[in-house]
Amino acid sequence: MLYENYEQVVANVKKACERSGRNFQDITIIAVSKTKPLSDVEELLSHGVMEFGENKVQEMVDKYEHVSKPVHWHLIGHLQTNKVKYIVDKACLIHSVDSVHLAKEIEKEAAKKGVVAKVLLEVNIAQEETKFGIREDEVYALIDAIKDMPHVHVMGLMTIAPFVENPEENRVYFRKMHQLSLDIKSKCIDNIDMSVLSMGMTNDYEIAVEEGATMIRVGTAIFGARNYNI
Ligand SMILES: *Cc1c(COP(=O)(O)O)cnc(C)c1O
């Protein structure tokens, strides 16, 4: 059942790739398993799905410790500095770096554990009050602060687009993100990769793919609606 949902997302991504002349191989689908039981993760894993996203540190660590085979865990939610130590060697990619303060903490904890943490910079491209992430015009200052950190490696950018009825409304933001990542890439800054562009969720992932996403984060379309009251 869950795998059928996943395959439907795959089919939709393939169609979006065809429409926009992109390669399906260039897109990573992250199954966002937040609030869902480990058995759901196991079900997808039994079909070979390897990329999972969590937005809470404790939940990611619990699933990391109990899953039957190692998978790739993406930390996609806001990260508090005091929790960095729990996930710095467990997350394959931290999608939500949005301050020098947080980057410094990741550097410190990654150095302690002898790892290089891969991260994305979270950009609040629509400048929504309620959202985490830096403004577009703050991105170079953050890059400047991180580029000399030996245990933090910037792989690209991430954004959470506004919640809209019509996903077409987010196309402009996805386009802006793509352009921003190209601008940064063109500067060839040491230690700064721009190969990853994480954008698009259940509502708007097809548009995000058309506009250049290399990672999409899909929860509801795969696992069904979340219940936060249990
Ligand atoms: C929950 C979440 C998603 C997935 O949302 P859906 O609309 O269920 O696909 C993607 N990204 C982030 C950062 C999230 O917190």
Which DSSP symbol is given to 1?
A: -
Is residue 227 assigned to a domain?
no
Q: Residues with beta carbon inside 6 Å of ligand 1? A: 32, 34, 55, 76-77, 160, 201-203, 217-220
The H helix count followed by the E strand count for the chain is 9, 8
**Rg (alpha carbons) of the chain, rounded to whole number:** 17
Q: Are 119 and 153 spatial neighbours (Cβ–Cβ below 8 Å)?
A: yes
Mean pLDDT of the chain, nearest integer: 97
Q: Which atom of ligand 1 is nearest to the CA of 202?
A: 9
- Determine the pLDDT at residue 90: 98
Is residue 226 assigned to a domain?
no
Domain extent at residue 199: 2-221
Ligand 1 centroid from CA 33, angstroms:
9
State how far the Cα of 111 lies from the Cα of 115, in Å rounded to an integer.
6
23-to-28, 148, 159 alpha-carbon distances in Å = 11, 33, 21
Is residue 229 assigned to a domain?
no
User: Measuring from atom 12 of ligand 1, which residue has the nearest CA?
Assistant: 76
The tally of domains found in the chain comes to 1
Read off the pLDDT of residues 56-73 as tens digits, 9 standing for 90 and up.
Answer: 999 999 999 999 999 999
Is residue 61 assigned to a domain?
yes
159-to-29, 34, 73, 120 alpha-carbon distances in Å = 15, 18, 18, 9
Determine if the pTM surpasses 0.75: yes
Ligand 1 centroid from CA 199, angstroms:
10
Is residue 139 assigned to a domain?
yes
Read off the pLDDT of each residue in 122-136 and give the average, rounded to a whole number. Answer: 94
Q: What are phi and psi of 183, to 5 degrees?
A: -60, -45
Ligand 1 centroid from CA 111, angstroms:
30
Q: Which atom of ligand 1 is nearest to the CA of 76?
A: 13
Is residue 153 assigned to a domain?
yes
Read off the pLDDT of residues 33-56 as tens digits, 9 standing for 90 and up.
Answer: 999 999 999 999 999 999 999 999
State yes or no: pLDDT of 230 exceeds 90: no
Is residue 228 assigned to a domain?
no
Q: How confident is the model at residue 229 (pLDDT cuts 50, 70, 90)?
A: low
Ligand 1 centroid from CA 224, angstroms:
12
Helices (H), 67-113: 84-87, 100-113
Q: How confident is the model at residue 228 (pLDDT cuts 50, 70, 90)?
A: confident
Q: How many CB atoms lie within 10 A of CB 57?
A: 21
Read off the pLDDT of residues 58-111 as tens digits, 9 standing for 90 and up.
Answer: 999 999 999 999 999 999 999 999 999 999 999 999 999 999 999 999 999 999
Q: Which atom of ligand 1 is nearest to the CA of 221?
A: 9
- Determine the pLDDT at residue 142: 98
For residue 13, the domain's CATH number is 3.20.20.10
